[in-house]
Amino acid sequence: MRIETDRTTCEGLGMCEAMAPDFFEVGADGTVVVLEEHPGEEHRQDLTAAVDASPVLALRLKG
Amino acid sequence: MTLVVVGGSLAGLRAVESARRAGYDGRIVLIGAEEHLPYDRPPLSKAFLDPDGPARVQPFRSEAELREDLGVELMLGTPADGLDPRDRVVSVSGTMVCYDALVIATGATARRFSGTDGLRGVHTLRTAQDAAAVRASLDRGARTVVIGAGFIGSEVASAARKRGLPVTVVETQDLPLLGSVGRQAGAVCADLHRAAGTDLRLSVQVIGLESVAGAVSGVRLSTGEVLPADLVVAGIGAAPATGWLERSGVPLHERDRGVICDATLATGLPGVYAAGDVAHVVNPLFDEESARVEHWTNAAEQGAAAARHALDPAAARPLVPVPYFWSDWYGHRIQFVGTPRAEEVVVAVPAEAGFTALYRRRDRIVGAFTVDRPREIMKYRRRVAARGSWAEAVAFAATTTTAA
């Protein structure tokens, strides 16, 4: 599974970090930093919650 | 089996999405008062008001995605006008729609300044149509008066100043956002307005509007002054859209007629759940206080949960959300997590370095407010969610003071 981010729409609102802090953080430039791009399948539920929580729909899971 | 979702905005959309994700393959009907497919509202008071902002709203999902991929029957542009919970029927402009499970997500309607109906140049800002009208007026270089220094009003003021247009914000309380963030943070918000050149009038009431040939021309204040205006935007809150439930037996709050729910979003009527701006919900995180929260994340989270719970009440669990809102003022990002109702509020980072205020109940952190500190706000949210220690939150804040 791979995490994709759309940095043009990301506004750094941080909901992904709230849902899955081991995988996302708001970075120094005020947009998302992905901490682990190829997470294991066991994290799918948290990551799906993070994708759904993005108020600007800036995240996607592939695979 | 039929799931009926009343309300075609974010909470309603998330309800139908989560029903399908949970494996529900029965009938779904989505009823919406607006003709638009579900769309995102926060940009209406932000990017939409820019001169080069988007021309029209972009729906979350296309009609084909909703109808074909998610198998949703759409009834848009037709508000529900009644509910009979005994026979489990929603009436929609004369059509009866039967349900087994029902999600009430009708949201809230912007309050209008009384006595202004039909007057040109006077708007609220809740829908795509409202946003288009406000923007057109700004495009013509309007002198703007905003009634209410809340989020909507402040974002409209921000949009006007971004264009270099004159704007006055009139607020009846002595600070902006008092109920939402408290005094210390409210004072910082007032300074943001003033620094941007907005004329902020606090502890002042709007007595009435003046007009010429059916269009607004001025705003009369309790001080006796009349502010010239071509555009007046009322940002004075929103009332739950529950007129259609008045005789249904759904419990409505005595103060604002919002739907009263427990922490699982259940209304107490069989199969009937509520979500989003319309719902008063008990939050176990904050001493079981009930609150009606009008935030994006709240609508998304409750919408998804309400559908799951309505379809499988036995599996319903209390939600334990941490309310979160953000707002963009004059290029500054305002963020708040938790509850402002606190025994003590401490300014942890002074305004020169952005600003952080922390909110305490007993020995716990229950809230945090920041300006221009987007890297930190979710660290506080996590502490609020975990019923984290006040002392540790204050110690963490101290480590951030130099890292703005």
The reported pLDDT for the residue numbered B321 is 94
Sheet architecture: strand order including B72-76: B72-76, B27-32, B2-6, B101-104, B272-274
- Looking at residue B29, its pLDDT comes to 98
What's residue B402's pLDDT? Answer: 64
Q: Is B375 in CB contact (< 8 Å) with chain A? A: yes
Chain B residues with beta carbon closer than 8 angstroms to that of A23: none
* Contact check, Cβ <8 Å, A18/B378: yes
- Residues B331 and B162: their CA atoms lie apart, in Å, by 9
Q: What percent of chain A has pLDDT over 70?
A: 100
Q: Are A23 and A3 in contact (CB under 8 A)?
A: yes
Q: Closest partner residue to B374 among A30, A52, A53, by Cβ?
A: A30
Selecting from 3.50.50.60, 3.20.20.80, 1.10.287.90, 3.40.50.300, what CATH number does the domain B2-109+238-315 have? 3.50.50.60
Alpha helices in A1-63 (DSSP H): 15-19, 44-53
* Structural domains of chain A in order of their starting residue, each with its CATH number: 2-62 (3.30.70.20)
Residue A37 — very low, low, confident or very high, per pLDDT cuts 50/70/90?
confident
Alpha-carbon span B275 to B265, nearest angstrom:
7
Distance from CA of B379 to the nearest CA of A (A): 8
- Residue B227 dihedral angles phi and psi, to the nearest 5°: -90, 125
Judged on CB neighbours under 10 Å (0-12, 13-18, 19+), B395 is exposed
Would you say B125 and B289 are in contact if contact means Cβ atoms under 8 Å apart? no
Q: What is the pLDDT of residue B55?
A: 83
CA distance B375 to chain A (A): 5
Degrees to nearest 5, angle at CA B369 with B403 and A59: 75
Query: Which B residues in the span 287-306 are in contact with A, Cβ-Cβ below 8 Å?
Result: 296-297, 300-301, 304
Q: Rounded to whole angstroms, what are the CA distances from B240 to B7, B14, B112, B387, B396?
A: 12, 19, 13, 30, 38
Contacts of A18 in chain B (CB under 8 A): 322, 324, 378, 381-382
Between CA A32 and CA A26 the distance in angstroms is 5
pLDDT at B379: 96
Of the residues B18, B336, B375, the best mutation for testing chain A's interface (the one with the most A CB atoms within 10 Å of its CB) is B375
Whether B41 contacts chain A with CB within 8 A: no
Of A21, A28, A55, the CB nearest to B296: A55
The beta-carbon contacts of B174-177 under 8 Å, at least 24 apart in sequence, are B174/B202, B174/B203, B175/B202, B176/B149, B176/B150, B176/B200, B176/B202, B177/B149, B177/B150, B177/B151
A52 touches chain B (CB under 8 A): yes
Secondary structure (3-state) at B282: strand
The verdict on A8 touching B (C-beta cutoff 8 Å) is: no
Q: What is the pLDDT of residue B381?
A: 97
Q: Give 10-residue mean pLDDT values along chain B (404 residues).
A: 97 98 97 95 94 89 97 97 98 96 97 90 95 97 97 97 98 97 97 98 97 97 98 97 97 98 98 98 95 96 98 97 96 97 96 94 98 96 97 96 60
CATH 3.40.50.720 correct for B112-234: no
Closest chain B residue to the Cα of A45, Cα to Cα? B21
In whole angstroms, what is the distance from residue B7 CA to residue B24 CA? 19
Nearest CB to A14; choose among B40, B304, B377: B377
Which residues of chain B form CATH 3.50.50.60?
Answer: 2-109+238-315, 112-234
Q: CA B57 to CA A36: how far, in whole Å?
A: 34
- Nearest chain A Cα to B383, which residue? A18
pLDDT of residue B404: 45
Strand pairing class (B80-84; B89-92): antiparallel
